[in-house]
Structure 1
Amino acid sequence: MALNIIFKAFAVWLGILMLAIANGALREAVLISVLGKPLGLILSGILLSGLIFGMAYIALPWFGRIPVESYAVIGIGCLCLTLVFEFTFGRIIQDKSWPQLLEAYMFREGNIWPIVLLVVALSPYAAAKIRGWA
């Protein structure tokens, strides 16, 4: 994969990271306090998934037409970056234990984080498919 595609994918991932941080702030400040934890987490997960797919769809022309496999590589790369960020931030900055970090992957109390991660991985390919590029 060309180096410029990797840099572009990283830039898109940084944009998604900013959207995720804003979504988290909205979730904690508004959604959970107004709707309760389960519904707030579900709505936050759905909103973030939509933002991620929207970012992928909007960014796709910046990449141009690339081989179909490249969309999958971009999605898996963004997934890996997300997981590295999630666990590094959680362990180092938030000082969370491994059980606390893994709680987000258990579908408890409305947390749909694993579905959001699936959206991260599949969005580049799905966006290309919808545009008729894959």
Structure 2
Amino acid sequence: MILVKYIFAWFGMMILAILNGIARDALYLPLMSASAAYQISTVILLLLFSVYFRVLTVRWPLASANQARAVGGIWLLMTLAFETGLGRYATGLSWQEIMQNYNISDGNLWVLVPVWVFIGPYLFFRIQARTQASRRAP
């Protein structure tokens, strides 16, 4: 049941990502290069996701490390399917253009987002487990 909640929680991440993109385009893209604006936007999104992961793990604690890994894996697959589907079929980008977003050697930090989506649930599970353990310890 908890996995279903986390699958639906993924849509909250997409809302955060869309709002972050709107803020980027409206607020700081006009003030700097596209590359710098996208780098800043990626870092902001990672921070937003971190807060969101923390809220989720407090509200719906994961039962085990394996469950946390499963959430990360499901979220990663959903994220990559959304990104490639939107990029390829909704905006008409070529596969080369989509893959360019993952080229960190060109300064594209976007690859950090799917990595964080994958490992974040596990890391926040570990943080939550340590927090609970320290509260129980005399």
Per the normalisation by structure 1, the TM-score is 0.88
Which of 78, 95, 98 is residue 98 of structure 1 equivalent to? 95
Moved over 3 A (4+): none
What residue in structure 2 maps to residue 41 of structure 1? 38
What residue in structure 2 maps to residue 20 of structure 1? 17
Aligned 8 A contact 1:49 1:116 in 2? yes
What residue in structure 2 maps to residue 122 of structure 1? 119
Aligned-partner Cα distance in 1 for 2:99–2:106: 14
Aligned 8 A contact 1:12 1:55 in 2? no
What residue in structure 1 maps to residue 81 of structure 2? 84
Letter in 2 for 1:86: E
Once superposed, what is the RMSD of the aligned Cα atoms?
A: 1.7
Aligned-partner Cα distance in 2 for 1:65–1:18: 22
Aligned 8 A contact 2:2 2:62 in 1? no
Aligned-partner Cα distance in 2 for 1:128–1:49: 17
Q: When the two structures are aligned, how many residues end up with a matched partner? A: 131
Extract unaligned runs of 5+ from structure 1: none
What residue in structure 2 maps to residue 107 of structure 1? 104
* More displaced stretch, 101-110 vs 74-83: 101-110
Bigger CA radius of gyration: 2
Aligned 8 A contact 2:69 2:118 in 1? yes
Q: Percent identity?
A: 26
